[in-house]
Structure 1
Amino acid sequence: MTSLPLGEARRYGGVARALHWITAILVLVAFIYGPGGSEERVYSAAREFDRRLHETLGLTVFCISFVRLAWRLSEHAPSLPAMPRWMTFASRAVQGSLYVLLFAVPLTAILGAWLEGHALTWLGGDIAPWIGESHALGAALAEIHGWLGDAILWLAGLHAVAALYHHFVRRDGVLRSMLPGRG
């Protein structure tokens, strides 16, 4: 990332910003409503609402992630202020890792649930398993899903702290480039 040439946009486009914030909110709410724990707990009647909401939000994030990736590949990101090489590397590594997790977290949930023989809920309807049952593998994927869910939240938190650092310490416009509104 190089210094910003005169006249070049300093912000991501409206679609990119909207997709970013919608994804962030959905991931956070999905994490909050994730029933977590053993299969018996996750699929208990007491956790039905939480599980259904969590699955709907997670599958929505999965779909939005495809749109985000396509949009990201087709729209140029704004040039950002000059930064030390390590910051540029860290920024790219965190962003790349977040994209990987936006796909890996839902995929492990989908495969884990289906391998355990459970349907998924999306927008009020159920999606029956598309693959045969392998309960032990499904349970292992469900556990990995939990770890990855924690990882995406920690990494998103680090991403947010870095954005605040850029805003309040470096004062370089990095956070403003993704904030909603007209700037």
Structure 2
Amino acid sequence: MYAHASDFDRQLHESLGLCVFALVVMRVLWRIVDTQPDPPQVSLWMSVAAKAVQWALYLFLFALPLTAITGAWLEGHPLTLLAGLETPSVLEVSHNVGATVATIHTWLGDAILWLAGFHALAGLYHHFILRDGVLVSMLPRWLLLRRSNGE
């Protein structure tokens, strides 16, 4: 499945994937300590759908790198970053299980793209059709403060 460890595409994919994973961990920690404004009022089904999609996105954002790491290590491949740093497998090699986990990683990657696209479309629907402020409520507070100060 994988080319030689010096394969630039693989190194880039693994490096970016680990960066995204680190950002997701920081985002979750930030959400734990930061206060959040009350979301705009929407119908109950939209509120439930929004929460379900948020949880699913976070689940995928954790599952994707974990399945990638597990699949590579089970197949006997080290993680290889752009700087040439390698993290060897800490798992016993089981090629068949690793290949299955790598396939699940691919499916999760496809699923998160569809879910993120649906999420973006829903945000645009709220902004342009419903005009209910949901999309604007997702903007960072510092950006909203800057806009309200006329900057």
Asked whether the two chains share a fold, i.e. TM above 0.5, the reply is yes
For 2:130, the equivalent position in structure 1 comes to: 170
1:91 to 29, 33, 50: 50
1:109 to 49, 68, 73: 68
The one-letter amino acid of 1:158's match is F
The one-letter amino acid of 2:61's match is L
- Where does 1:29-178 land on structure 2 (aligned, <5 Å)? 39=1, 42-43=2-3, 48-124=7-83, 125-178=85-138
SS in 2 for 1:175: helix
CA distance in 2 between partners of 1:123 and 1:74 (Å): 33
Structure 1 stretches of 4+ moved >4 Å: none
RMSD (Å) for aligned C-alpha atoms: 1.7
List gaps (5 residues or longer) in structure 1. Answer: 1-38
Once the two structures are aligned, what percentage of the paired residues are identical? 56
The one-letter amino acid of 2:3's match is Y
CA distance in 2 between partners of 1:76 and 1:162 (Å): 24
Most deviating of 139-148 and 64-73: 64-73
Number of aligned positions between the proteins: 142
Structure with larger RCO (C-alpha < 8 A, sep 6+) = 1
TM-score normalised by L of structure 2: 0.87
TM-score normalised by L of structure 1: 0.73
Deviations 1:121-166 (A, max 9, x none): 2352111111111111000000000000001111110110011011
Deviations 1:20-39 (A, max 9, x none): xxxxxxxxxxxxxxxxxxx1
Deviation at 1:44, TM superposition (A): 5.4
